[in-house]
Each structure stands twice: as structure tokens, then as C-alpha cells.
Structure 1
């Protein structure tokens, strides 16, 4: 491999030192895990390559990832290449697990974006690139599966460029033979390489028939670099050949400044293009020192690490995957997090997929697992000593788009479920666990159907808690259309003091959102002042479940008359009298069912607009307007009102209609009347559930 370096490689061969951390990212099924496998094989870290389909790859190591043949959490592996240490983090590509990448990015030196020549995956690629752009990460693009590409690279590049706000810089062009890419020409080195399966490519002379194409492509590459190098621009205008060393320096500088995204080609499954990718990383990817400058960490200070991921390893307790951004951290060190939590490092492990090996310390730049840092969460930093660590990057959790109500199959597992949910929510910051006492529901919310399915599998497989799930109940309410009045008299005599309370009320509806209002119009002391509060309490007791079976809202209750007994009246008696009066008046005031309406903002690629609109309309949605998505070329957004009852499964259909990339945000907007057969069905179901619960 050293023989392939050329002058460009040799000139910068001593430029790098220390371990570098590289994220491997890209759309779902683009070949990220396969690329990691080929890198490990090429660097001698594996004796043979595994595969995702066979379930024996280093990445996708969890049982859930194996079962679904997809990455569901980051996987780490370390290699040595030409004397340099690298740690690669294979990140999930599915939009439902894209949040796992967000906590990894602040601590990496660069990213390799794996994609393929498939314009249907361009929107998914844009989601990944947008995350990298927002996090300001230097990035290479590895155009994978070049052996099965059906269009020219320049045509593919034009499609991919629409997904990137940063110019793509083509570094290699394929050598075609009978429509198959058999090798490539490196435009910086001006050398041709023929692919060898699972082996370094072989250097060959550039074919005279390829010379013209190579010169055009190379000049195009240099022109882009010259946009940021005046001296190079002058040399190109003067038809002078720039020194190769400076071309490599320009490539490294423009990558680090995020001016360009270098594009390399290959086929990870065959190990093609892997060596050149590794050499580009070795000579051009930023060092840890440069990364510290990017994220605002000063060079000197106590040892500092950034947490990328947390998980609970059974009897071993919690493990925090973190990169040491400064200094050296050892077992037994006391550290303090950016939130001010103090903990002691109980142990340190190096990782290779699911394999762990204990080590005494983690050196600067290394990614390692730190044991039992309880109270220090994913995304936080921690620093040696009792001084609070600074925040490296604050990553807000994504808004949930899919919710399930869950319950244990066996009631004795209730306590275990609560403990397991606490741990699993700590592992996955995109999960939201909420309790809805009014409906007696535990709700689990996340990024989609697969995200929650994997979570339930973790509950069963890792924590031994089996649950049943269903769509969450809808928070229906009821109110009245008319007015009514009633008397409620509670009288009971059973020896000794009896019970006596007597009230007269009038009820009327209020505008939406006004709540419940109690009005006291008692005169002459017919209901003593000390019992007025009890009357209001009894009224509110009744409003917890009205005649239709749901909480009552937007109601005015006026206390107009009543009577009392000097001996038998009590707070409890008047409270009961108020409940009786409400139960008489409410059915007479034409009760009506109210359903919650959500305001949603749907974002989709423009070509999916008609399909997304049809989905919303089919769910009784009212479309309020259309617009282009701000800052996203080729994307649109739809603003609509949709009943909460119609939301379950919307994200599944939306993703199906948009190649997996559509999404939405939702907020409660208002309550609206529900009448006719839909209302009858809801009320009947509620009555049946109440009868079964008795």
C-alpha cells in the first residue's frame, strides 16, 4: 500500500499524529456497515469480512440490529493504518434512528457519508448532509456500489449536489469496461488504479483513451479549489501545472474549512476504493487539535470527554461511550459533568462492535466505554476533578411522531417496567415516556413504528419485561349546547345525626377554552357560606365524567338556591347534593362530544406533495395552506388541522409515501364538536369499556 502513496501522500505523511475519530453516516441501506467491515479487513483487524445479511458483522451488533438487518445504535471499531490510529463510529441511517448520530457528531474529527447513485435516496441523503452541515462537520462523500451504477458519475454528482449546500468535489473518475467500473483514476495523483476484490487496487498506466476525460475532470477539480486559492487560480489562468504538494494541501484545507465535500468512489462489498479512502482520511481529515478549535475546547486544561451514547449492560451497570477530547482519563478518576454531577470512573473498556476489553486508561483522542458514570447523560461532557465541565454541544431531542400506549402482560411486572423504561429512556434520548393518569395510560413516544418496535424488543430481551401495546386513547371531552336547571337534595337518616344538603343550580355552556366556572348567587344565607366550597367541589367531582362518559369542559354552573338543616347539614352532604343536581341537569342541556384537533406541519419532498395531501384529507384533515420549506430546496410543507383520533399510523403512511423521509410536528389546537355516527361509536365504546371495568 505504501507504494501507492505518490508524492502527495509522502508530502503529508508526517502531518498527522494520534487517534482520529471518523463517523460513518449515510442513508438507510447505503452500505455503511459493509464499508466499516471492509475497512477493518483492509487494516488487518479482521481475518475475514462479515455481512449484515449473515448477521456476523462488527457493526449492527445488537440482537435488534441483527433481527432487522439495520443499524439501530452507533457501533465503534478501532484500526491502525500506515501507523496512524483511527476509530470509526458506524451510525444508523434510517430516519427513525438518525438522532443517534446527533450526539456522536460533536466529538468526531470528520465524517464519511456513504451514498449510492440512486436519485430516489437523494432526499434521505439530504437529511444526513443537513445534520452534518448544522453540526459543522468536515465530510467526505463515498459514492458506494459503483460496480452496479447505471449512470455516469457526473450525472450522479448533479443529482447528489441538490442534496448538499456545500459544493461536491469529484476526486476520482471510474474506468469503465463494457459498462462496468473496473477501476478509477485519482485526479489529485493523476494515477489509474484497477480494482482487486478485497485487496488494494493495482496501479496501471492511464489509458490514452482516458487521458482527455481525466484532464477535463482534473481541471474541473482544480477550478473549484482555486475558488479559495488565488495563487492556484493564477497558475490555472496561466496554463501552469500547480505543484502536487500544494494541491494536497488545498484539498486538506478546503475540507477542514468546510468549503468542499470531496467525493470518492468504490464498492464496499468488494473492498474497492477502501485504501484510497483511508489515505484521504489519513492525510486530509482534521486532527483532534483542530476539532477542539471547531467546537470551542481550549487546548490546555483538565482532561475532558464528551459522551456520545449511554447504555445499561446488565450486571455491569451503565456504560458511557465517550471520546477523550483533552488529556488522559483513568479508572478511579473522579469527574464532574457539564450538569454538575460528580462520579467516579469504575472502569474503562475499548470496544469493537459488541466486544469489550478492559484497559486502565483512555488516552487523548480515544473513544472508550466508561463504567458507572451514573447521573451523566448522553450529550454531556465530563472533566477530571470537581470543576463543572463546559458544554461541548447541546443537542435537543427530536419531537416524537409516533406514540403507543403500553402495559405489562403480567401485573407483577409493573415496578420492573418503570425501572426498565427509566433506563431505556436514558439510553435513547429520542424516547419520551409519559403518564396520563386521567386515562390510566403509560405512553411511549418516538421517531416511528420501527423505533418503538425496537424499543419494545429491548424491553423484552434486555430487561425481561413483556408488554402489550396499542394506539393511545383519545382525550375526548364533552360540553353542552343548551341550558338547564335542576335541584339536588341529599337526605339520609340512619339514627343519630343525619345528612342533609339541598342546592338549586343552573348550567350553561361557555366558549371553547374557557374551562369550568362556578358562580355563587346565594342570597339570604339559604346555603351557609361554609358549604359553598363543598357545592363547587361536588360540581367539579361530577365534571370528571359527564353523561357521555368523558370529562366536562367549558361549562358555567350557577348556584341560585338551596336549603340546609342546622344539625344534619355538612360539607359531605352539600357535596353530594351538588353531584345529584349536576346529574339531573347535564342530560337535559343537550350534551355534545368534543374531540381534540391538532395543528400539524408536514414536511415532504416536493414530488410527494399530492400523496401527502391525500393522506391528510383521508384522515378528516383540513388543509390550511402550502408553502416551500424554508431553507430546503425541493421540499415543501403543509399546514393542516387533523383530529387526534386520526393521528395513529400517520407517520407510517407518510414515510411510505415519501421514500422514508417525510415527517411532521404536531401541537394541540382546539376542541371541536363531533356528531353523528362517529360520536355515537365513541360514546358506545366508552360505555362498553366502563361496563367491563366494573
Structure 2
């Protein structure tokens, strides 16, 4: 595509004498986004080979591989974490951020979006329409909302079912929205001789602007003239591309000249194209394929590198996130200046068995150097087990990752990404700044983990290591929430989905040496009295010496939902001495907390102490506590006890096409649909109240129901009586389990 130096004239220069990697204008941060199986990691490997970062065997100089994964990724045959692969091309450092395509690891994707300045959407031409899934469209819309430049790369052209033109047209229709002419190809594939199976492999690319063919059949790019058979398709696609570029041009006279028949020179078209791509108003579609055996350049890799270096914005052109002081006072916007105040953010945290904690950091302003002391501020997620930080910490060694290798670097300037060792307090989302001028960056939005996974230590040895292992696990992953539920006495990991939970448990085992067992998750049920009752609690024991004597009569009556427990003293005549009335109340409340039926806490009752007896010698605080507890149990034994279940307010955000199925599904879960309301173009919010016992797996079920396009949130509303038939079934299950 050519350079874009003219687009960057007048922008501030880096500090004099800074190396290329230390100058923001010589850095591109690119995140790869796409459906699972679309070929993102293969594309990263092809780009690394094309830039010479790896040899033809896919190995780096010191023996590592760009595709080295941890044992979980190797076993599951899919990416589960964000990885950084830095390469260099034409004097430009390109930080490629490879993200998982599976929906359970959207937290890694959002971290990649935060660290990047542009996005490559990787779409498979062989996935029969699944290459552009609902989740991919949602990410495209999120990028559009913040103005992030985007391009599309079509992969798997070697498949017999692949069709570049059809895939490009689908991208324009599904991603272009109201302006499909803003998503257009820059090249058309050139096919070689047809194979016996009828498939004609793609051997080159015909440039629509240059009208030259880039032939990759030899394993190296060579230029050639297009054949006459390509002329009609090239002319149609070229005219549409030129019109799309001119429509986004800042030169308002260009369209009039073009419509008047004037020939627009190639340099003007390339410059306007690069500017439109950098602004995020035009989104080119390219094609790419891995290099053949023994070849260095994969199809389209050089064209993609030219787009990244010439069209994608530099860190200078993308603003830093808003910053405040640690007290919340707004501060002036930051500029991407290596000489400015330090402002960096931890976008990923991982653990290495030899080095310890490693933090992937994006530097937005200033320069980060090893062994300096920085201020760590963050990050407002105590509800997920992440404490707020406001401490000074010394930076360890800085390195640049490549596969499993870590290459030392002397410093990291504004706009760059770097790995920092031994930041023991900093977690994902925290801000690193100068200790003399602490800053706090506005956090990026993280999805709520809504799939509960209850766990128990497998053995005694695991119990001792469980707490430390869990704390390290949630420090690495801000999309995970750790809960110690006081009602059910369970340790619960809240995850984004089943695959997310599987990886978390596997990391506990392999990385931290903690074996855990997943057990059924219990919701916090309650009990209450279904009718009024009276009872006597009698605790009389005489075994020689000091005895125990306490008798109390109580009346129990149900109260409205949410009333809690009321205790009323109506003793007359001193039947229960005044000093022991609080003891009776304490015993009643303690028994209510333990439950009177299935062991769930009792709520929404009024307990009235009406009478009792005491002994001048043998009565005591402990005796009347016991009598109060006995009285409540006795009252429960002779009346109906209702089970109360928690009910959540649920909001489900889905495309309009799925509103009906979602409402039917919520009704089938005993939910009460409260209504729907518009939530943006083509989307609606369905509001309902649903028993929590029915939505334990809703995070998984909604993904299937809405094909990955739905989101939901939930908040506890209240406890309500459980239907009698369901309560009876639960009692049978509890009694059977207790045998």
C-alpha cells in the first residue's frame, strides 16, 4: 500500500536518538479477533515467517516456537489466553496480539482490545457462514463504538468449499451495517490450474488499485500482468473500491472529478485509503494463507504487512484512556510521549514456574525502565476477589516475549508493550505510574462471570494450598470471581462458561498443585413457618452438683417476606428473670440460623416469649439459650414449614429475532417476564424475575439459545415460597443424601 508518512506530518517526534522500537510512530499494536477455528494463530505464524522472526521450520533463533502453548492449550487444541508476538517489518515494530476465539475467554479478548490500536478480524472462508458469528459481530460493534480501525482477513482459501468473493460479500453485508461499501476487498484471488477434484487453488492476488498480480506460486511474491480473463471482475471490483475510497476522502472535490471522468492517480487513492483506514471509516478485506512447505511467504502476508504498517494508526494517533488521581479527581488527557509522565496498564497477568508472576503491560505515556519504583493503583473489583491497590512497587526485569522465550529489553517507551517480572502486587487492570505523580486509568469493561462452580479440596494436603492457589488464580483473571458463601458454606468460582471453568480447575492442578473436586452448587434457600405455633422449651438436667434448669414458652407466627426475625418479650410476673430474656432470644436466633427442617436459615417470623420458669441456683445464660433453641425446634415439629428460594431480577439483551425464544425459555424456568424495551438498533432488553435455582447454567444455555449474541445480568431481588411439589422433591433428595 505504500507508506503513510504524509499522514503523520506535524506529529511530535520521540526523544532524539531513540531506537525505532522506542519511537511511537514506529510501533503498530494489532489485535487479531475471530471465531474459534478461523485461523488467527496460523496467521500470526505466517506473518512471523514472512518477517523473518522465525525460520521455515517455524522456530526462532534460540529454538523456541511462536506457536508454543502451555500444556492446557496443547491438550485442548485451542487458544485459551492472550499472547503477544512482536515482529518487525520495514523498520516498524508490530505487536501482534493473538486472542482466543471461544466465547468463554472473552476477558482475554477485551484485554487485547485494550492494548491494541487496530483490529484484524479473521474470517474463515470454509466455515459455511460461521466465520462471522454473532459474537464476532458484537466485537465489531464495540470497536466501532470507540472508533477503532478494523480490517478483515479471509483465511482457509485452500479449502475446496472456500470462496473469497462470497465471504467478502458476506462481510460487507454483516459488518458494514448501513454502509456496506465501507467493507470492500483490496485484492481479488488469482486461481491456478484446476485439480482433479475440481478445486482451483489460489496462487496469487490481483491488486485492484495497482492492477498488478502478486504471484505466490513460487513461494516468493512476484509481480505479473493480470490475464484477460480477470479483466471484467477486476474492473467491477476496482470501480466499487475507488468509489468507496472517494466517499471517505477528506477532499470533497475528488468525487466530482471522478464522476466527471477524470482519472484519479494511484498515489492519491492509496493516501486517501490509508487515512480512511487509520480513522476507522473504511475497512479493507484481504486474503491470507500459510506458506507452502519450503516457502517463506504465505499468500497475502506481504499485503497484510503493508496494510498494517501503512494504514493502521500509530500509538500517537490513538488517545490514551482517561486518567484520574487515585482520589478520583479528573486529570488532563495524556499524550503518547516517551518523555511524558509514566502511565502504563497491566493488561494480562500470568505465572511462570521459574520467574514467578509476569505482567503484560501497555505503556501509554512516558518510559518504563527496569528496577525503578512505580506506583500501583487499581482497580475497584473487590466483589470479584481483587483488592484495591495503592502501593509503591519496584519493577523487575523487562522482556519481550516470543513463544515461551523472554528476550530482555532495556526500556519500554510510550506506545509499546512489554512484559514485566515480579510485580507481586499489581493485577490485571491496575495502573502503573510515577510514584511522585500517581495516576489511575479508567478501567475497561469486563464481562460478569455468571456460571457458578462449587469446589472442594480433594484431600487434606489440598486444603492447606487451596486458599493460596485460588488467590493467585483470580489475580490472573479479572473475569473470574471467588465467593466464600456463608449461607451454603461453599467455595464458589464464578466463571464465564464451562470451558472457562475447566481451564481454571486445570490451572489449579497443574500450576499450583491443588486438586479440587467440583460439587453441585447450592443456592441459599431459607425456611419459614407456614402457620402459627406454640411450644415449650424445657432444659432440665441434674447430675450432681450444679444442675441446669430453664423452661420457656414461646409463640411463633409468620411475617411478610423480608421481615427477618422479630423477638417480643411478653413475660409477666418475673417467670423468666430479666437477665435471662436476652439469653432466650440468643438461643432462638442461633437455632433459626441453623434451621429447623432441612438446615436452611429460618426467616420472616415473630417469636414471642410468653412464659417460663427458672431456678434460683441451676438457671443460667447457657441453660436459657438451650431452652430457647429447643422451643423453636419444638414449634417447628408440629406445623408446616415452607421453603423459600431466592429470586433474581434478570435482564437479557438479545437481537430482536431472539426475543420470543428468550421469553418462552424464561417462562419455562418459572420466570415472570416483566416486559421488553428497545436497547439499540435491532436489539431488545427482556426483563424478568426468575428463581435462582433455575438459572444456574443460564450463561451456557443463553449462548446456545441466541447463538452467542445474547448477554444477561442478574441481581438478587428477594426470597419467595418455593412451589410445594418442588419443595417436597427437594426434601426427598436431601433425606436420601443424608442416609
Same fold (TM over 0.5): yes
SS in 2 for 1:103: helix
Note the alpha carbon deviations across 1:32-61, whole angstroms, 9 max, x for none. 10110100111111113659xxxx962461
Contact in 1 for aligned 2:176/2:183 (Cα 8 Å) = no
Distance 2:413 2:320 in 1: 19
The structure 2 residue matched to 1:671, chosen from 719, 732, 739, is 719
Which has the larger displacement, 530-539 or 445-454? 530-539
Cα deviation 1:185-206 (Å, max 9, x = unaligned)? 3233333333437x34432223
**What residue is the counterpart of 2:186 in the other structure?**
172
Partners of 1:49 and 1:646 in 2: CA distance:
52
Kept in 2: contact 1:319–1:372 (CA 8 A) = yes
1:513 maps to what in 2? 562
Distance 2:538 2:4 in 1: 98
Equivalent runs, 1:213-292 vs 2, <5 Å: 213-228=233-248, 229=250, 230-268=252-290, 271-292=298-319
Could you tell me how far 1:10 is from its partner in structure 2? 8.8
**Cα distance in 2, alignment partners of residues 472 and 522 from structure 1:** 44
* Distance in 2 of aligned mates of 1:612 and 1:49: 50
| Conservation of the 8 A alpha-carbon contact between 1:522 and 1:560 | yes
The worse-fitting range, judged by mean Cα deviation, of 521-530 and 576-585 is 521-530
Q: CA offset at residue 209 of structure 1? A: 4.1
Q: Secondary structure at the match of 2:426?
A: coil
> Aligned partners of 1:142 and 1:163: how far apart in 2?
18
Is 1:141–2:141 an aligned residue pair?
A: no
2:129 paired residue number: 119
Pairs within 5 Å for 1:446-485: 446-485=495-534
Distance in 1 between residues matched to 2:415 and 2:38, nearest whole Å: 28
Q: 1:604 Cα deviation (Å)?
A: 4.1
Structure 1 stretch displaced more, 405-414 or 394-403? 394-403
* Contact 1:37/1:59, CA 8 A, preserved across alignment: yes
For the pair 1:331 / 2:370, whether they are aligned, the reply is yes
2:141 to 116, 130, 136: 130
Q: Deviations over 1:538-560 (max 9, x none)?
A: 11111121123321111111122
Question: Residues 172 and 180 of structure 2 are in contact (CA less than 8 Å); yes or no, is this contact kept in structure 1?
Answer: no
2:217 maps to which of 180, 191, 196: 196
Specify which of 369, 373, 395 is matched with residue 423 of structure 2: 373
2:30, 2:94 within 8 Å by CA — same for their partners in 1?
yes
Equivalent pair of 1:166/1:261 in contact (CA under 8 Å): no
Measured after TM superposition, the shift of residue 134 of structure 1 is 4.2
Distance 1:57 1:449 in 2: 29
In structure 2, distance between residues paired with 1:115 and 1:154: 9
Q: What is the CA-CA distance between 1:184 and the residue it aligns to?
A: 3.0
> C-alpha separation between the residues in 1 aligned to 2:364 and 2:461?
45
- The verdict on how the C-alpha distance between 1:550 and 1:14 changes in structure 2, with shifts beyond 3 A counting, is closer
Q: Provide the secondary structure at the position in 2 that maps to 1:455.
A: helix
Deviation at 1:354, TM superposition (A): 1.8
SS in 2 for 1:368: strand
Q: Does 1:438 align with 2:438?
A: no
Give SS of 1:670's match. Answer: strand
Q: Which residue of 1 aligns with 2:360?
A: 321
How has the CA–CA distance of structure 1 residues 256 and 11 changed in structure 2, closer, same or farther, with 3 Å as cutoff?
closer
Alpha-carbon distance between aligned partners in 2 of 1:158 and 1:22, rounded to the nearest angstrom: 21
The whole-number CA distance in structure 1 between the counterparts of 2:590 and 2:429 is: 45
1:33 maps to which residue?
Answer: 41
Q: What is the CA–CA distance in structure 2 between the aligned matches of 1:601 and 1:676, rounded to whole Å?
A: 27
1:646 Cα deviation after fit: 2.8
Q: Is the 8 A contact 2:567 2:608 kept in 1?
A: yes
Mark the CA change 1:618 to 1:57 in structure 2 (over 3 Å): closer, same or farther. Answer: farther
Q: Deviations over 1:643-678 (max 9, x none)?
A: 322334333333334444444322223323234443
Deviation at 1:168, TM superposition (A): 3.3
Q: How does 1:202-601 map to 2 (within 5 A)?
A: 202-228=222-248, 229=250, 230-268=252-290, 271-292=298-319, 296-298=333-335, 299=337, 300-339=339-378, 340-391=390-441, 393-544=442-593, 545-601=595-651
Q: Which of 35, 50, 67 is the equivalent residue of 2:75?
A: 67
Cα distance in 1, alignment partners of residues 279 and 55 from structure 2: 37
Quote the residue 1:159 is aligned against.
Answer: 173
CA separation of 1:363 and 1:548: change in aligned 2, threshold 3 A: closer
1:569 CA drift (Å): 2.6
Match for residue 692 of structure 2 among 637, 644, 647: 644
Counterparts of 1:109 and 1:640, CA distance in 2: 38
State which drifts further: 132-141 or 478-487: 132-141
Alpha-carbon offset, residue 97 of structure 1: 0.5
Judge which range, 98-107 or 370-379, deviates more.
98-107
Q: CA deviation at 1:609?
A: 5.3
Asked if 1:88 corresponds to 2:100, the answer is: no
| Cα deviation code 1:515-542 (max 9, x no counterpart) | 1111222334333332222121111111
8 Å contact kept, 2:176–2:182: no
Q: Bigger CA drift: 615-624 or 132-141?
A: 615-624
Q: Cα–Cα, structure 1 residues 204 and 165, in superposed 2: closer, same or farther, change >3 Å?
A: same
Structure 1 unaligned blocks of 5 or more: none
Give how far 1:406 is off.
0.6
- Match of 1:422, SS state, is helix
Contact 2:168 2:285 in 1 (8 A): no
How far off its partner does 1:225 sit?
A: 3.2
Q: In structure 2, list runs of 5 or more residues that go unmatched.
A: 10-23, 293-297, 323-332, 379-389
**Cα distance in 1 between the residues matched to 2:475 and 2:75:** 23
- Paired with 2:483 and 2:630, the residues of 1 have a C-alpha distance of 34
3-state DSSP of counterpart to 2:575: coil
Q: CA deviation at 1:126?
A: 0.8
Which of 26, 48, 53 aligns to 1:45? It is 53
Q: How far does residue 606 in structure 1 lie from its aligned partner after superposition? A: 4.9
Provide the C-alpha distance between the structure 2 equivalents of 1:533 and 1:561, rounded to a whole number of angstroms: 14
Structure 1, 368-377 or 208-217: larger mean CA deviation: 208-217
Give, in angstroms, the shift of residue 173 of structure 1.
4.0
Q: 1:176 to 1:21 in 2, by over 3 A?
A: closer
Distance (whole Å) between structure 1 residues aligned to residue 469 and residue 181 of structure 2? 46
TM-score norm. by structure 1 comes to 0.90
Residues 60 and 70 of structure 1 are in contact (CA less than 8 Å); yes or no, is this contact kept in structure 2?
Answer: no
Deviates more, 1:261-270 or 1:502-511: 261-270
Kept in 1, the 8 Å contact 2:32–2:98? The answer is yes
C-alpha change, 1:631 and 1:491, in structure 2 (3 Å) is: same
Question: Cα RMSD between the aligned structures?
Answer: 2.9
